[in-house]
Amino acid sequence: MKLKLAALSFAMFATCGAFAQATDTVAKVKASGVVTMGVRDSSGALSYTLGDGKYTGFHIEVCNKIIANLEKAAGRKLEVKYQPVTSQNRIPLVQNGTVDIECGSTTNNATRQKDVAFLPTTFVEEVRIAVKANSGITSITQLNGKNVATTTGTTSVQTLRKNERASNIDFKEVFGKDHSDSFLLLESGRAEAFVMDGAILAGNIAIAKNPADFKLVGEVLSVEPIAIMIRKDDTAFKKVGDDTVKEMMKSGEMAKLWDKWFLQPIPPKNTRVGYAASESTKAAWANPNDKPMEDYAKK
């Protein structure tokens, strides 16, 4: 019995130790020499693939800056590994330690804050509707009886259904596995509209075969803070991330990055997204915070 108890105690200690390391990214990467960045294949100009395992975008650059400061905190050079994530698995992969920092297009809301932590809001998004330019659709009310595309694991269609202008509208949801797949549903005519974050819609339109064939229409469905995600209760790493993002905002580097990725030509086709930073985004840069979406809805 004593041996069993001793074995049990050792197992519990080992488990606690592993959990402690999983929630201390600075210690984890110092020991391993590796940091894993969660990336998206098609999150507009925020995070997207160039092929051959290469990723780039606005949030990728912000995360690279954070990782440079993580290296200073860990006292060693780190190998950066990319882990593609989806809307469905991004939170579990952060929670279980597979991904150390998620650099996609995640909305900070109260429900998610129970499971993960967020760095200061990098921009405040407006959920919009993308349609074909010749569709004749200009508002939510014209979605009645239509197929509306969205990406599995996102909140955009939930937002649409909650909008008071959509209270008597009956539409069918069709799901893409990622944002490019959802845009393909619109492009191929299997959906008449694609509801998603405006920056993601604008980014996918910019790289479409014929960008002029699509446009953003209708009312702003909701305002959502978008932020980089890390593990919950990861105090040391959150400080590194918070300090980095705040300094980028204070110095003007964040605004310059926005200009680079959303107002200037970007690879691989050297097209412009043409998506200016909103006043809400500029306010978030002026007053850095990690408040959830629900706080914005109170205004």
Which of 200, 224, 248 is the last residue in one of the domains? Answer: 224
pLDDT attached to residue 164: 65
pLDDT mean over 206-231 = 92
At 171-181, the pLDDT tens digits run 999 999 999 99
pLDDT attached to residue 21: 43
Does some domain include residue 9?
Answer: no
pLDDT mean over 127-131 = 94
Q: Which residues pair with 217 in a beta bridge?
A: 129
Asked if residue 174 and residue 84 are part of one domain, the reply reads no
Asked if residue 209 and residue 131 are part of one domain, the reply reads yes
Query: Which residues span the domain enclosing 79?
Result: 28-124+225-293
Asked if residue 191 and residue 264 are part of one domain, the reply reads no
Which of 180, 206, 224 is the last residue in one of the domains? Answer: 224
Asked if residue 106 and residue 230 are part of one domain, the reply reads yes
pLDDT attached to residue 218: 87
Asked if residue 178 and residue 134 are part of one domain, the reply reads yes
pLDDT attached to residue 299: 53
pLDDT mean over 268-272 = 91
pLDDT mean over 260-269 = 95
Q: Which residues have CB under 8 Å from 138's CB, separation 6+?
A: 217, 218
Least confident of 6-15, 83-92, 288-297: 6-15
**Residue with the larger pLDDT of the pair 90 and 13:** 90
pLDDT attached to residue 291: 96
Least confident of 9-18, 178-187, 231-240, 265-274: 9-18
Domain harbouring 169, CATH code = 3.40.190.10
Q: Per-residue confidence at 156, pLDDT binned at 50, 70, 90?
A: confident
Asked if residue 262 and residue 138 are part of one domain, the reply reads no
pLDDT exceeds 50 at position 15: no
Q: Per-residue confidence at 142, pLDDT binned at 50, 70, 90?
A: very high
Q: Which residues have CB under 8 Å from 23's CB, separation 6+?
A: 231, 232, 233, 234
Query: How many domains, the chain?
Result: 2
Does some domain include residue 18?
Answer: no
At 58-112, the pLDDT tens digits run 999 999 999 999 999 999 999 999 999 999 999 999 999 999 999 999 999 999 9
Asked if residue 204 and residue 133 are part of one domain, the reply reads yes
Which of 208, 224, 240 is the last residue in one of the domains? Answer: 224
Mean pLDDT of all residues belonging to the chain: 90
Does some domain include residue 218?
Answer: yes
